[in-house]
C-alpha cells in the first residue's frame, strides 16, 4: 500500500520568490492537511482540504495557500518567501479528517 508522497524532498529558494509543493495522499483518502515544522515552533497546522474544499485553516498569513484536485492530490503555495519560511513542510492524509492521519516524509524548504 503506497503511503503519502510529497515532492520535491528538498528545495532551495531565494527570498521573495514563490514555491509550490505537491502531495499525493493514500488512495481513498479524501482529507489532506498541511503542517509546518520548525525547531522553534514545532508542528503547526496550516490548512486542511476535503473534497476540493478548504475545510479548516490555521493561523498563517495569506501568503500560504493551497488547493486540492478532484483526485485528492493537493498543492501548497507560498508566495513572497521570507527567511522564516524555511522549514519542513509535511502533508498528512486521512479518510475523513477525524480518523487519524498518515504523514508523508515532508519537503525541506530552505529560503536564502
Binding site residues, another protein, CB under 8 A: 4, 33, 35, 42-48, 55-56, 58, 90, 92, 97-106
CB of 92 to another protein, least distance (A): 8
Name 77's bridge partners. Answer: 20, 65
Cβ proximity to another protein: between 7 and 80 the closer is 7
The grid coordinates of residue 88 equal 519542513
The grid coordinates of residue 31 equal 482529507
CB of 12 to another protein, least distance (A): 17
CB of 3 to another protein, least distance (A): 9
Cβ proximity to another protein: between 92 and 109 the closer is 92
Distance, CA of 33 to CA of 54 (rounded, Å): 10
Q: What count of Cα atoms within 13 Å lies in the side-chain half-sphere of residue 66?
A: 31
CB of 40 to another protein, least distance (A): 9
Cβ proximity to another protein: between 28 and 42 the closer is 42
50-56 long-range CB contacts below 8 Å, 24 or more apart? Answer: 50/96, 50/97, 55/31, 55/97
Cβ proximity to another protein: between 56 and 77 the closer is 56
Amino acid at each position: 500500500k503506497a503511503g503519502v508522497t510529497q515532492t520535491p524532498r528538498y528545495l532551495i529558494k531565494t527570498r521573495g520568490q514563490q514555491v509550490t509543493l505537491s502531495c499525493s495522499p493514500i488512495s481513498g483518502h479524501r482529507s489532506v492537511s498541511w503542517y509546518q515544522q520548525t525547531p522553534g515552533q514545532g508542528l503547526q497546522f496550516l490548512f486542511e482540504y476535503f473534497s476540493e474544499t478548504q475545510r479548516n485553516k490555521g493561523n498563517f498569513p495569506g501568503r500560504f495557500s493551497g488547493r486540492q484536485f478532484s483526485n485528492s492530490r493537493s498543492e501548497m503555495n507560498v508566495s513572497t518567501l521570507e527567511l522564516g519560511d524555511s522549514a519542513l513542510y509535511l502533508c498528512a492524509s486521512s479518510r475523513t479528517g477525524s480518523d487519524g492521519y498518515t504523514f508523508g516524509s515532508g519537503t525541506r524548504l530552505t529560503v536564502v
